[in-house]
Amino acid sequence: MIQNRTNNFLLDWPIVFTYTALVIFGYFNILSASSGLEFISYFDISKPFGKQLAFISISFILIFFILAIEAKFYERFASIIYLLSIVSLIGLFVFGKKVNGALSWYEIGEFTIQPSEFAKFATTLGLAKYISDLQTNIKELRDQIRASIIILVPSILILLQNDAGSTIVFMALIFILYREGIPQKYVLIGFPLLLISIITLKFSALFTCAVTCILAIIYQIFIKLKKRKFGISIAVVIITSCVSFATEWGYDNILKKHHQDRIGLWLRLENDPVKLKAMEQSVSYNLNESEKAISAGGFFGKGFNEGTRTKGKFVPEQHTDYIFSTVAEEWGFFGGSLVVILFMFLIIRIIILSEQNKSQFNRTYGYGVASIIFIHFLINIGMVMGLIPTIGIPLPFFSYGGSGLIGFTILIFIFLRLNASRLNSS
């Protein structure tokens, strides 16, 4: 499977350069966020920036192996790669190490490995393999259910490990199903159900049901539907009621306290000044400090390694999930916008190349890559800016972590290898 001549295919260099720029820029922000005032050496592996430099080196070496392997290998062995990732997730329940409440890590010496990061590209490969199978018709309900199971199995395993953030990422693979032809009614139904859940949390299940009933009655009276259409209004009221009360029950009985606090903070559910003051020192502390760091950066920022709030460690775990606050403080609105532009360019470029692929496997995998990067990018930056609830999702190529960096490197360069095979055959 290893090709003797790795230079007989073409790479999409805009993606390669964008990836490299994000990784390098991310490293310097990790360096600034984790070095403090005690910086001694770039190669100090006792510090996050030293370890990240090692992870970057491993990723760059790994790229050559990914590109050297025949493109057909990834399609031929996609199912096996997927099954191995499932086994690695199951193994965590026996051999895993709990970090920050999540049983998501294998410990190897001073380093840890997070299998969920590798399960992202493995699940994308597995899903692409199934959808591209000649016997699969994703427009049929049977195949839609099977494709959903491929996504749900790793999602549930990761959720059971108390890693809700990574679970949400896997839901982004639904975009693949939508691109390949699942009925639009799923989207048309899903969005209103999400909206009903948000309204319920903001007000109450009784309020949501009462408003729905009133709207249904007004609709029947003034629109003057035929009698046989009356059942649609009844069905809408029943579905809304079920979703509303299920949402309220799930919020009170399934979500943990810190999840409730984060959602409550986002929806401004708490009005008690005393409780709000207490939340400023607990659940909303990271967000408040992050927003202060972002606003302190101004337009051009304070300069590399000059962020006072970054060097003062005001934002906890700033080199991981809240790394974008370092970007905004030290590089300002200009630097933050540049990061957003680079991510958007990367995502759009991957989608464009995916559409140019005649192979359904290549196209489907490409959409999976774009979807996973997009959901990480959207949620992380939205979280840091307070636009969505706080969710533990890293910013690709920026947040500290070897598993994440290596996982995203594999994710992207498998796509580049598949795309190179298309260019080489044309």
pLDDT at residue number 216: 83
- Measured CA to CA, the distance from residue 78 to residue 71 in angstroms comes to 11
* ∠ CA 227-232-234, rounded to 5°: 95
Of 242, 262, 279, at which residue does a domain stop?
A: 279
Question: 84 with 168, same domain?
Answer: yes
Asked if 245 and 205 count as a contact pair (C-beta separation under 8 A), the reply is: yes
* Best CA proximity match to 260, nearest among 272, 248, 245, 273: 248
Decide: residue 11, CB within 10 A, 0-12 exposed, 13-18 middle, 19+ buried: middle
DSSP output for 115-156: HHHHHHHHHHHHHHHHHHSTT--TTSHHHHHHHHHHHHHHHH
Question: 246 with 218, same domain?
Answer: yes
Q: How many CB atoms lie within 10 A of CB 109?
A: 5
Residue 7 domain-assigned (yes or no): no
Of 279, 311, 340, at which residue does a domain stop?
A: 279
Which tokens in the block code for residue 296? Answer: 């302190």
Residue 320 domain-assigned (yes or no): yes
Decide: residue 251, CB within 10 A, 0-12 exposed, 13-18 middle, 19+ buried: middle
For residue 98, what are the β-bridge partners? 103
Number of H helices, E strands in the chain: 18, 3
Question: 290 with 177, same domain?
Answer: yes
Which tokens in the block code for residue 190? Answer: 């899903």
Question: 199 with 257, same domain?
Answer: yes
Question: 22 with 157, same domain?
Answer: yes
- Measured CA to CA, the distance from residue 292 to residue 296 in angstroms comes to 6
* Best CA proximity match to 166, nearest among 411, 398, 394, 378: 394
- Measured CA to CA, the distance from residue 376 to residue 396 in angstroms comes to 7
Model pLDDT for residues 149-173, shown as the tens digit of each residue: 999 999 999 989 888 888 999 999 9
Question: 216 with 306, same domain?
Answer: no
Question: 161 with 254, same domain?
Answer: no
Range of the domain at 248: 190-279
| Torsional sign, CA 302, 308, 314, 319 | positive
Model pLDDT for residues 329-377, shown as the tens digit of each residue: 999 999 999 999 999 999 999 999 999 988 999 999 999 999 999 999 9
Residue 254 domain-assigned (yes or no): yes
pTM to 2 decimal places: 0.88
Residue 4 domain-assigned (yes or no): no
Task: Name the helix (H) or strand (E) containing 103.
Answer: strand 102-108
- Measured CA to CA, the distance from residue 98 to residue 114 in angstroms comes to 11
Number of domains in the chain: 2
Question: 352 with 272, same domain?
Answer: no
Question: 159 with 84, same domain?
Answer: yes
Question: 321 with 352, same domain?
Answer: yes
Question: 140 with 47, same domain?
Answer: yes
* ∠ CA 113-114-119, rounded to 5°: 125
State which residues of the chain have pLDDT below 50: 4-8
Question: 270 with 290, same domain?
Answer: no
Of 253, 279, 305, at which residue does a domain stop?
A: 279
Which strands make up the sheet holding 97-99, listed edge to edge?
Answer: 97-99, 102-108, 111-113
- Measured CA to CA, the distance from residue 392 to residue 400 in angstroms comes to 13
pLDDT at residue number 186: 81
* Best CA proximity match to 335, nearest among 6, 73, 32, 131: 32
Q: Could you say which DSSP state residue 69 is in?
A: B
* Best CA proximity match to 215, nearest among 198, 236, 186: 236
Residue matched to tokens 């706080």: 390
Asked if 158 and 166 count as a contact pair (C-beta separation under 8 A), the reply is: yes
- Measured CA to CA, the distance from residue 321 to residue 335 in angstroms comes to 18
